[in-house]
Structure 1
Amino acid sequence: MAEDGAPGVVVVGVASGHFAMVEHWRPAAGRTFLEFPRGFGTPGGSDSADRAAITDARRELREETGLQGTQFQVLGRVWADSSLLQGHATVVGAALDRSASAAAHDTEIDALHWVPVHQVPSLMEAGVIADGLTLSAYALWSARRQPREDERALR
């Protein structure tokens, strides 16, 4: 959460079984991470929290990857460190077109990568994907894909 109280946003963009992920140098950790695009939310406004998060997700996706998304939906909210930080980030899913060429991205990002969905667990295990917001966003996205226990019992 920024100083102005606006929550952050994390974008889980998917196209043809691949996530759009960015390579990003993080000075605090002294290393590069593979992450979902993310950023600060827009302060104020009269939009509902979900509509504001989707607007912010569109902007962050475009700024960091140059990609345009469709079918945006809020997947949930995560707290990076609930014992130390007040704010949360809203996780937003989006459908992407992998054949669309990515426009120039902002200078914060080192590269855009199309990561096969099935490779994410092994990249997590290897420590390539290791930041808390990306791990949490992936968990929310995965939970939406899994049949719920009570739904399986009804089958």
Structure 2
Amino acid sequence: METVSSRQLYSNRWISVREDVIRRADGEDALYAVVEKSDFAIVIPQDGERFHLVEQYRYPLARRCWEFPGGSVAGSVDPIEVARQELREETGLRAAHLLALGRIAPAPATSTHYGHIVLATDLTEGPHEREPEEQDMRSAWFTRAELETMLTDGAIVDAQSVAAYALLLLHERRVAAES
């Protein structure tokens, strides 16, 4: 595809939306909407068979959602540093070890951003440092069995958290095969 023209439709500090006229392989022009967002990190805080999740109100879904901590940091491109900051802000946890597990594109048909999945281990607890819009956030530890039940029962609907857990399982399988 070739971009013929592009115009910005909307922008704020978190997101911008543009409309492109594209030329398809068959020579026909078409419209394409693109959402531009910063890359983000999803952190899997793991302590043995326990996982730390956060719960917050997600306005577009009109419900509270459990998910792994995460977010983006303006100007930062280092996923490990973003993960470290988001973990501290949202949960108060500090990790001695952070390991990048993979990268996902949560909405490749419409959005430019990638998510970086990071495993956090050797955790110590401290005070959280939540941003004003995160003040209603709660956090708690869950066993692996509880986490998996939440995934299958719809308590966790965040696609990034589901993908993060899948990458963790693949990582664990690879480590076990190497042992």
User: Which consecutive residues of structure 2, in runs of 5 or more, have no partner in the other structure?
Assistant: 1-13, 17-35
Matched residue, 1:94: 120
2:151 paired with 1:127: no
Amino acid paired to 2:71: G
Work out the CA distance in 1 between the residues paired with 2:43 and 2:142: 14
Please tell me whether the aligned partners of residues 42 and 56 of structure 1 are also in contact (alpha carbons under 8 angstroms): no
Write the distance in 2 (CA, Å) between the matches of 1:2 and 1:117.
34
Match of 1:22 among 47, 54, 71: 54
1:115 aligns with 2:142: yes
Which one has more relative contact order, counting CA pairs under 8 Å at least 6 apart? 1
Deviation of the 1:104 alpha carbon: 3.4
Change in 2 beyond 3 A, CA 1:5/1:130: closer
Q: TM-score, normalised by structure 2?
A: 0.71
Closer/same/farther in 2, CA of residues 77 and 2 from structure 1, 3 Å limit: farther
Q: Does 1:71 align with 2:114?
A: no
Aligned equivalent of 1:10: 42
After superposition, the Cα gap between the structure-2 partners of 1:133 and 1:31, relative to the gap in structure 1 and judged at 3 Å, is same
Please give the alpha-carbon distance, in whole angstroms, between the structure 2 residues aligned to 1:76 and 1:118. Answer: 23
- The aligned counterpart of 1:58 is 84
Mark the CA change 1:17 to 1:37 in structure 2 (over 3 Å): closer, same or farther: same
Cα distance between partner residues in 2 of 1:127 and 1:73: 27
CA distance in 2, matches of 1:25, 1:17: 26
Larger radius of gyration: 2
Pair 1:142-2:169 in alignment: yes
- Aligned counterparts of 2:41 and 2:128: Cα–Cα separation in 1: 21
The residue type equivalent to 1:127 in the other structure is G
2:65 maps to 1:33: yes
Deviation of 1:86 after TM superposition, in Å, equals 1.1
Identity %: 24
Partner Cα separation in structure 1 for residue 146 and residue 55 of structure 2: 16
CA separation in 1, counterparts of 2:129 and 2:102? 26
Q: Please, which runs of 5 or more residues in structure 1 have no aligned partner?
A: none
**Higher deviation after alignment, 21-30 or 109-118:** 109-118
